Amino acid sequence: MRRLTNKFFRRKTLTVAKNLIGKFLVRKIGNKTIREKITEVEAYIGPHDLASHSSKGRTPRTEVMYQDAGTIYVYFIYGVHWMLNIVTEERDFPAAVLIRSTERVRGPGRVTKEFGIDRSLNGKKLGVKSGLWIEDGAKVNPRNILRTPRIGVSYAKEWSEKPYRFILRP
């Protein structure tokens, strides 16, 4: 399968998010390779998006979101789970897509656990060198992609209702 390049991620975040549905998340650790179809994602777009970490400004935590498209952004939540995001758009514009589920693993915390993803990947580029990348998949009919509001961001006021979550219909 063909690995996606930074050019794929250097587009508008909502386009990238929708286009990630049906692609494959791949993790190689030693001789073990895990490859799963991406079935659910959420988009976070810029400092004006109150659900995005970047809404609090450029901080040591959010600095990764300002890097080049295709950079891995991993953060810890609830003192329990790592979350995997891929930076999108142009450098210095903080936007990213959260990988929420794969065909076999539902839930962003479960995805990172299954794929052995933790803070050690934060700030690295997708690719063979980091051991984490995304490969192209079969074209998904847009009618098979459900678009809904994001989950767990009620604190973000009107931004919690934005339809920035994309799900592959069963």
User: Is the Cα torsion angle 38, 150, 164, 128 positive or negative in sign?
Assistant: negative
The pLDDT of residue 8 is 98
Model's pTM, two decimal places? Answer: 0.95
The pLDDT of residue 79 is 75
Low-confidence ranges of the chain (pLDDT < 70): none
The pLDDT of residue 71 is 98
The third-level CATH classification (topology) of the domain covering 6-168 is 3-methyladenine DNA Glycosylase; Chain A (3.10.300)
The pLDDT of residue 78 is 79
Q: What's the mean per-residue pLDDT of the chain?
A: 95
Q: What is the DSSP string of 66-93?
A: GS-TTBEEEEEETTTEEEEEEE-SSTTS
The pLDDT of residue 159 is 93
